[in-house]
Amino acid sequence: MNTSPKLPITDEHMHIDPRAKGLKAVKEFQNAGGTHIILVTKPTWTIGVEVTKPEDYRIVFDETIDLARQINETGVRAFPVLGVHPAEITKLTERMELERAVELMRSGLEIAAKYVEEGLAVGLKSGRPHYPVSEEIWDASNAIMEHGFMLAKEQDCAIQLHTESVEEPELIDITQRAKGTGIRLNKVVKHYAPPLVNVCEKLGIFPGVLAGKGAIEQALEEGTRFMMETDYIDDPERPGAVLGPKTIPRRTLKLVEEHGEEPFWKIHKENVEEVYEVEIEL
The closest alpha carbon to 178, from 132, 128, 129, 231, belongs to: 128
Q: Which is nearer to Zn ion, 231 or 234 (CB)?
A: 231
Binding window for Zn ion (CB under 5 A); candidates: 128-136, 149-157, 163-171, 223-231: 223-231
For Zn ion, give the closer residue by CB, 12 or 231.
231
Tell me the window of 100-108, 139-147, 201-209, 224-232 that interacts with Zn ion (CB under 5 A): 224-232
Least separation in angstroms between residue 14's CB and Zn ion is 8
Q: Helix or strand or coil: residue 245?
A: coil
The single-letter code of the amino acid at 17 is D
Position of minimal CB gap to Zn ion: 231
Which residues inside 226-245 make contact with Zn ion, applying CB under 5 A?
Answer: 231
The distance of closest approach from Cβ of residue 261 to Zn ion in the complex, given in angstroms and rounded to an integer, is: 28
Residues 6+ apart with CB under 8 A from 159: 83, 123, 124, 125, 126, 148, 149, 151, 152, 183, 187, 188, 189
Q: Does 12 bind Zn ion (CB under 5 A)?
A: no
In three-state secondary structure terms, 187 is: helix
Q: Give CA–CA dist 157/274, Å, rounded.
A: 10
Cβ at position 90, least distance to Zn ion in Å: 16
Shortest spacing between CB 191 and Zn ion, in angstroms: 7
**51 vs 161, which CB is nearer to Zn ion?**
161
Beta-bridged to residue 228, according to DSSP, are: 209
Site of interaction with Zn ion (CB under 5 A): 231
